Amino acid sequence: MIAAGEEARKPEPSRTVICSDYRVGRGRPPMHSRFKKGQSGNPKGRAVGRANNKTLINQALREMVSIELGDKVRKVPLIKGVVLKQGMAAIQGDPRCAAAVHKFALHADADNNHGIETEMFQFAKPSDELFDRIDGILLSKDEKIELARLRQIADFGGGMTALSLTDFARAKEIVTKGLGWDVTPVTSPPAL
C-alpha cells in the first residue's frame, strides 16, 4: 500500500539500450560483457601480501650471501658483497671495477648527502701514463681526434692491448710526434 503523498516507484530503466540492429564484432563487445559504469575492472585488486617488483629487488639485495675476502669467508647482504667484490677487483687494478666503485660512491653521496670525498676515487686510466705527456701543439686537429678515439678504446678495453695492430701502430706514430721525437722516415742509403 502506498502512503499518502508518496508516489509509486517505477523500476529504473536499464542503462544499456538493446537495439535489434546492434552488431557484435571488433571494437563492439556484447552489451552484457561491457564494463559497468562505476564498477572496477579489477575488483579484487592485487592479492594481499603479494610483493611488487621494488619490494622483490630490495629483498634480494638484503639476502645474506657468503663471500671470500682474502682468507676469510664472511656472510654479508648481497649488495654489500657486490660492493666489496668490486672494490677488491678495483684494488687489483681492474679499471671497470674502479669505475663501478666510483659510481657507487657518487650514488651514495647523492642519496645520503654523507659528503664522501670522491676525489679519492679518481683512478688513473690505462692511457694516462702514455698519452698525458704529449704536447698537443705538435699534433694536428685530426691527430688529436684520432688520439682521443684510441685513448677511449684503450681505457674502456682495459689497456693498450685492447687496440688492434693497426690502431696500436697509429697510436705509436701520434705519440712519437706528440713527444717531439724525430718522425722522419729512415731512408735506406743509396746503392753503390
* Listed residue (85, 93, 100, 96) closest to 155, CA to CA: 96
Cβ-Cβ contacts under 8 Å for 84 (sequence gap 6 or more): 67, 69, 76
Q: What backbone torsions phi and psi does residue 33 show, to the nearest 5 degrees? A: -105, 5
Residue listed under C-alpha cell 713527444: 179
Are 70 and 88 spatial neighbours (Cβ–Cβ below 8 Å)? no
pTM of the complete model: 0.37
**What ranges do the domains of the chain cover?**
53-121, 128-178
Q: How confident is the model at residue 63 (pLDDT cuts 50, 70, 90)?
A: very high
Residue pLDDT, tens place only, 136-179: 788 888 888 888 888 888 777 767 777 888 888 888 888 888 88
The burial of 23, by beta-carbon neighbours within 10 Å (0-12 exposed, 13-18 middle, 19 or more buried), is given as exposed
Residue 15 has pLDDT above 60, yes or no: no
Return d(Cα 5, Cα 50) in angstroms, integer: 55
**Mean pLDDT value of segment 66-86:** 86
Instruction: Kindly report, residue by residue over 24-46, the tens digit of the pLDDT.
Output: 889 888 888 888 888 877 777 77
- Summarised one tens digit per residue, pLDDT across range 82-133 is 888 888 888 888 888 888 888 887 777 655 544 445 444 455 666 676 777 7
